Amino acid sequence: MGVMRRDWQDREGILGFFGKRKKEALEKYARYVAEGAAGGERADLVGGGLVRSMGGWSEVLSLRRRGMGTVSDERILGSSEFVTRLFLEAEERERETLRLRKNIPDLGLLGARIAEGTGMREGDLRSGSRRREVIEARKLFCQLAIRKMGYCGGDVARYLGVTTSAVNKAANSEEVAALQRYS
């Protein structure tokens, strides 16, 4: 719906099924989701991951009898290869988070590093100022702290002196170009 940016989502592709104009597509998509939720639980959509993607328990048991192992997770609908790839990506993100967290374990140190890199005082970052350069530095701070280092929005909001909503919005907005310099 445009609230959070997710690289894995094909937003335009999906909305394209609901209309040519963005506003119309968003309205139709929201209606579609609401109607689906109102329909309650559907038996044909119950069950998770491997069982559904393989075509049922008989297929899963047949593979096991033949000695062919599969990787699965009931939260993920997809092939064994797809699930394996997701797990590997998650492990890589976790390693990156731990690496960054080890190098900058404290939000204050991150704030000082960003302030130094952007040529402003750390107090500016926490001042509530609406100057463009401060807003961009704050957005950078939020994206690093939440996306890369794994901090929760509440901790970041308390450090910056802003609302959790503002922090999460900044963290999930379009990626700041300078983010790669600090990662």
pLDDT at 141: 92
Helix or strand (DSSP H, E) at 40:
none
Of how many residues is the chain composed? 183
Q: Smallest Cα–Cα separation from 139: which of 112, 100, 175, 181?
A: 175
**3-state SS record for 53-80:** HHCCHHHHHHHHHCCCCCCCCCCCCCCH
**Cα–Cα distance list, 83 to 20, 59, 70, 89 (Å):** 33, 17, 9, 10
How many whole angstroms separate alpha carbon 179 and alpha carbon 141? 9
Query: Sorting pLDDT into bands at 50, 70 and 90, what band is 173?
Result: confident
Looking at domain 104-183, its CATH class is mainly alpha
Residues 120-137 pLDDT 10s? 888 888 887 888 888 999
Q: Considering only 7-11, 12-16, 108-112, 122-126, which range has the smallest mean pLDDT?
A: 7-11
The pLDDT value recorded for residue 73 is 63
Average pLDDT along the chain: 78
Per-residue pLDDT of 61-80, as tens digits, reads 665 666 655 665 666 666 77
Write out the residue limits of the CATH 1.10.1750.10 domain(s) in the chain. 104-183
- Separation CA 44–CA 61 (nearest Å): 20
Structure tokens at 1: 């719906």
| pLDDT tier at 45, thresholds 50, 70, 90 | low
Residue 83 has pLDDT above 80, yes or no: no
In percent, how much of the chain has pLDDT > 70?
70
- Let me know: does 118 contact 137? Beta carbons within 8 Å: yes
Do residues 154 and 164 lie in contact, with contact meaning Cβ atoms separated by under 8 Å? yes
Question: Which three-class secondary structure state does DSSP give residue 10?
Answer: coil
